[in-house]
C-alpha cells in the first residue's frame, strides 16, 4: 500500500493505492460535533487500503465544510486526480454525502453513493449541531446544489426522519437514482452496513459497474446479520456513550426481537 497526502486551503487529500485499480473511490469526509472523524468513514478508508482500491480520502477542517471558493478549488483538484481512471465513485455520509453531490455537479464523477445526504448545511435547517452557527456565519451564503451530472446515484436514508425531506430537496434525477430506505441514524446505519458482508459485495459490484440484484431484500438480510455487531457495539460503548443501550433496545425491537432479549443484552453491557 502506498499513500500520498496533499494539503489545500484547509482540506487534506490522501491518495491510497494510486493507479492500483481502474475505478477510483473519492471518500468525502464528515465530522461530528467533537470534530473527530466519523468512525464509519475511518472504516471505509481502511477497507479501501486493505483491499488495494485506488482512493482519494478528503478531510476538511472545522471551517472548511464544502462551501465557497475553497471547495471549488478542492473539487478541481479531485477531478484532476481522478481523470486518469476509467470510473470515479464518490462516497459520503451526512455532510460528506453533500460534498460528494457537490463534486458531481460537474463532469468527472460516474456514480455517487450517499448515506443520509443533507440538502442544507445551515444548522437551523439541517441536522447539524447548533454550536456551529458562528462557522456558518463565516462561510456566508449556503450554496444550493443545482446540477446532478453523475450517471448514477444510490442513496441510503432513514424514511422516518428529516432525511426524507433533505432527499426531496436535493431534486435527484428519477431515472438515475436508486433510493434505499434504511432505518436508523446516519452514523449507525453506515456503521451497520460496513459491518456486513453484503456491503463488501455491493462495493465490489459497483467497482465493476454492476448492480446488486434485489438490493432492498439484501438490506433486510443485512439488518439481521448486523445483530452480532449491535451486541458488540452495546458492550463496547454502553459505558462511554450514554443512551446507546436504549438505542440498541429500539433497534432490536424494530427487528422483531423480544424485549427480554434486548434487556439481557443491555444488562450484559453494564456488566
pLDDT single digits (tens) 152-163? 999 988 776 677
The alpha carbon torsion through 157, 163, 164, 169 (nearest 10 deg) reads -120
In order of their start, the domains of the chain are 3-221 (3.40.50.1820), 226-261 (no CATH)
**This prediction's pTM:** 0.71
Cα dihedral sign for 209, 150, 216, 95?
Answer: positive
pLDDT digits (tens, 9 = 90+) for 32-81: 444 445 555 667 777 788 788 899 988 876 555 787 777 888 899 899 99
- How confident is residue 30, by pLDDT bands cut at 50, 70 and 90? confident
d(CA 228, CA 264): 14
Stretch (H or E) spanning 202: helix 197-207
Residue with cell 430537496: 169
Residue 230 contacts by C-beta under 8 Å, 6 or more apart in sequence?
Answer: 192, 248, 251, 252, 265
SS3 (DSSP) at 190:
helix
Residue with cell 473511490: 25
Q: Give me the mean pLDDT over the 112-128 stretch.
A: 66
Q: Give me the mean pLDDT over the 189-207 stretch.
A: 69
In three-state form (DSSP H/G/I as H, E/B as E, the rest C), the secondary structure along 239-258 is CCCCCHHHHHHHHHHHCCCC
Contact 192, 229 (CB under 8 A): yes
Tell me the angle at which helices 186-194 and 39-50 cross, rounded to the nearest 10 degrees: 30
d(CA 240, CA 198): 29
Amino acid at each position: 500500500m502506498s499513500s500520498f497526502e496533499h494539503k489545500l486551503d484547509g482540506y487534506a487529500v490522501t491518495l491510497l493505492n494510486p493507479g492500483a485499480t481502474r475505478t477510483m473511490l473519492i471518500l468525502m469526509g464528515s465530522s461530528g460535533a467533537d470534530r473527530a472523524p466519523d468512525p464509519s468513514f475511518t472504516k471505509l478508508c481502511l477497507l479501501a487500503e486493505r483491499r488495494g482500491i485506488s482512493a482519494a480520502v478528503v478531510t476538511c477542517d472545522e471551517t472548511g465544510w464544502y462551501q465557497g471558493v475553497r471547495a471549488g478549488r478542492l473539487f478541481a483538484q479531485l477531478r484532476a486526480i481522478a481523470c486518469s481512471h476509467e470510473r470515479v465513485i464518490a462516497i459520503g455520509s451526512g455532510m460528506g454525502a453533500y460534498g460528494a453531490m457537490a463534486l458531481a455537479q460537474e463532469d468527472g464523477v460516474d456514480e455517487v453513493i450517499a448515506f443520509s445526504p443533507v440538502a442544507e448545511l445551515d444548522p437551523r435547517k439541517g441536522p447539524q449541531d447548533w454550536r456551529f452557527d458562528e462557522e456558518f456565519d463565516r462561510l456566508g451564503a449556503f450554496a444550493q446544489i443545482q446540477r446532478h451530472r453523475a450517471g448514477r446515484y444510490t442513496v441510503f436514508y432513514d424514511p422516518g426522519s428529516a432525511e426524507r425531506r433533505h432527499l426531496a430537496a436535493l431534486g435527484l434525477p428519477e431515472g438515475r437514482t436508486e433510493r434505499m430506505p434504511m432505518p436508523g441514524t446516519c452514523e449507525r446505519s453506515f456503521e451497520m452496513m460496513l459491518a456486513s458482508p453484503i456491503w463488501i459485495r455491493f462495493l465490489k459490484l459497483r467497482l465493476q459497474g454492476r448492480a446488486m440484484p434485489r438490493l432492498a431484500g439484501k438490506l433486510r438480510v443485512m439488518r439481521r446479520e448486523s445483530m452480532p455487531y449491535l451486541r458488540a457495539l452495546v458492550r463496547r460503548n454502553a459505558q462511554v456513550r450514554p443512551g446507546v443501550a436504549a438505542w440498541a433496545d429500539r433497534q432490536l425491537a424494530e427487528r422483531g426481537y423480544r424485549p427480554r432479549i434486548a434487556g439481557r443484552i443491555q444488562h450484559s453491557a453494564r456488566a
